[in-house]
Amino acid sequence: MKSHNPFDEKPTGIVWQVCLVAALSSLIYIFDSFDPIYSRAGWGPDDQLRLVQIRDFLNGQSWFDWTQYRMNVPDGAPMHWSRLIELPIMFLIVIFTPLFGQDIAEMIAGSLIPLLGITLTSYMLGRIALSLWNRQAAISAVILTWVNPSIVFQFRPMRIDHHGWQIMLATLALWSMFWPSKKRGGIILGIALATWLHISLEGLPITAAFFILLGWRWIIEKAHGQRLIWTIASFTVTTLILYIITQGLPFGATPYCDSMSPPYIAATSIAALIMLISINTTPDKRWIRLLSAIFAGMSALAILFYLAPQCSGGAFAQLDPLVHDYWYMNISEGLPIWRQKLHIILLSVTMVCIAIIALFNVIPKISYSSRGNLYTMGFFLIYAISISCFVFRTITVANAFALPLVAIILSEIFEAYRRSPHLIKRLGMICAMFFIAISGQLLSTLAYHMTSADGENKIQNSITNETPAINCKSVQGIEALNRLPVPSHIMAPFNLGPLILLNSKHNIVASSHHRNEGAMRDQIATMIGSPDDAITILKKRNIEYIVACSASVEWSNYQRKHQGSLADLLLQEKPPNWLKPISGNGELMIWRVDLPSS
């Protein structure tokens, strides 16, 4: 059996390889994405609205005010996004604007930050592979990061929303588990997890996994309490600091369920206090340590549900039924795996399946005493894929956790390739490595063409859930809106709204962001109702124009369920007589609202 010391490699052994792969890959991605970057067509609605939020701050909006005042006028739309991850983007925009102008500065910042993020992620995954196996596995992990579709999609140029940050922080948390120093590893782990939850509570299930594993290790052997105690302490302190920095001291503020609000902070603080006392008293009996951990967890849940009972069903439990049925249930990334298309499942899950096979293949090859790190990887990988079965967006983190294990298989094949004297075998091994690296893409494409004849473009549309035509979802596509009186009150599909905010001075009703659910409900009700029913809401909201892309998926969904609705009539180009068509650009459709005075 192979005995392997995971820390026998130099820490800097893969730095230059990471830099080389990152430089070449970044140039390819920027070149390939140049037109979408310049036209804004390649930006998702979340990225567009994130840039609107950055502009608002740079133009004088308070650091503590996250309201979008050009949405849901006059009240504005409350947002739940942290400004923390906007700081590096703001910094680059401020630096480059005097040199290139604001538009180019935004494109530079929006391209560099995601690419730097995936570079750091690839380095950390390489270091994990180095800890697990050897230098060849580390380099393989770096390369795999840059070709994995689930990861690359969240770090593509102009992907400035929080999804890439979540992958990076999850990877940092995992890497810290392999650090020999329990104190330093625990501190970094706590900081990474607290920052992840501050950015998005989507990380809560995976965060729980880290505490579950550390807690279990402490229960089995109390000597493991040192890493746990430093993790708990740094997590608690970082959570408080980030909350105060980004929100001030409004501990009596509305207890939202979708971000780290006072009820969550109180719950984690109580659990931390109980655990810190328990660890420091060092109980000798395992059952006492087990009861202490259970008591800490139950106390946290009790405090949370007492202070915020509405959070017991999750962040979206209190959504308006109309918004839940017509919006939330159409956000594919938040749905279970069985609600996804086959080619999307294959694209996202194949690498994880290969990693599980790799795990069971590698474990017997090393000595029993050296298997701890592999068991750690296996725990987090299986946990992440289990969570993604119910909330599919977690699959990106599962892919990141999978890559070091897949890299071990590639390194073993590469080593066999180097030793083999037979040309045919060597060619076969090259094909095997190539297939493993892009297996998800190959199987996904094959499955798509076996189940659909609508063309390859539909694959990308399915992945992004942003299917309106590119011509419409670009600066050039909505240019006609700038000929309208400014500011006008516009009702547009949720995914088109952020582009309107970004590239015009107009106001919109709502976007695909749930805290603005009252306005979202009104917009949905307008489109699925009859023209007579729509008049009441349009008057209430003082809507002057209705705008959409001719290929609006949102409106098509309304049309399928509600024949004779306003959305149905507009897509059939049979608007009521109080809607006057205005010439748009290409696939952009504009109607002026000319309601009867009575």
pLDDT in tens, 499-531: 999 989 999 999 998 889 999 999 999 999 999
In a domain, 349, yes or no: no
- Is-contact 107 118, C-beta < 8 A? no
Residue 309: asked if its preceding bond is cis (omega within 30°), the reply is no
**What is the 8-class DSSP label of residue 77?**
B
Q: Which of 160-174, 308-322, 540-554 has the highest mean pLDDT?
A: 160-174
Which of 265, 287, 318 marks a domain boundary?
A: 318
Residue 374 near residue 359, CB atoms below 8 Å? yes
pLDDT for 366 equals 83
Residue 598 lies in a domain: no
Q: Give me the number of domains the chain comprises.
A: 2
27: in domain: no
Question: Distance between CA 467 and CA 568 in Å, rounded?
Answer: 18
Of the chain, the end-to-end C-alpha distance in Å amounts to 87
The residue among 279, 299, 318 that closes a domain is 318
Task: Provide the pLDDT confidence category of residue 2 given band limits of 50, 70 and 90.
Answer: very low
Interatomic CA distance for residues 464 and 210, integer angstroms: 30
pTM for this model (two decimals): 0.91
How much is the pLDDT for 586? 62
**Residue 242 falls inside a structural domain:** yes
Is the pLDDT at 217 greater than 50? The verdict is: yes
Look over the chain and give the mean of its residue pLDDT values, rounded to a whole number: 88
pLDDT tops 50 at residue 463: no
Q: What is the pLDDT of residue 573?
A: 86
253 located within any domain: yes
Residue closest to 516 by CA, chosen among 494, 533, 544, 490? 494
Residue 192 lies in a domain: yes
pLDDT at position 155 over 90: yes
Which of 318, 346, 372 is the last residue before a domain boundary? 318
pLDDT of residue 469: 41
- The more confidently predicted of residues 360 and 42 is 360
- Residue 561 lies inside a defined structural domain of this protein: yes
Domain containing residue 173: 163-318
Question: d(Cα 10, Cα 5) in Å, to the nearest integer?
Answer: 12
For the beta sheet containing 507-508, the strands, ordered from the edge strand earlier in sequence to the opposite edge, are 507-508, 489-491, 545-549, 588-593, 579-582
Residue 593 dihedral angles phi and psi, to the nearest 5° = -85, 115
Q: What is the pLDDT of residues 226-248, one digit of tens each?
A: 999 999 999 999 999 999 998 87
Strand, coil or helix: what is 2?
A: strand
Q: Which residues pair with 548 in a beta bridge?
A: 589
Report whether 70 contacts 501 (CB < 8 A). Answer: yes
- Model confidence band, residue 424 (pLDDT cutoffs 50, 70, 90): very high
Does any domain span residue 268?
Answer: yes
Give pLDDT tens digits for 297-314.
999 999 999 998 888 887
Quote the CA–CA distance of 319 and 322 in Å, as a whole number: 8
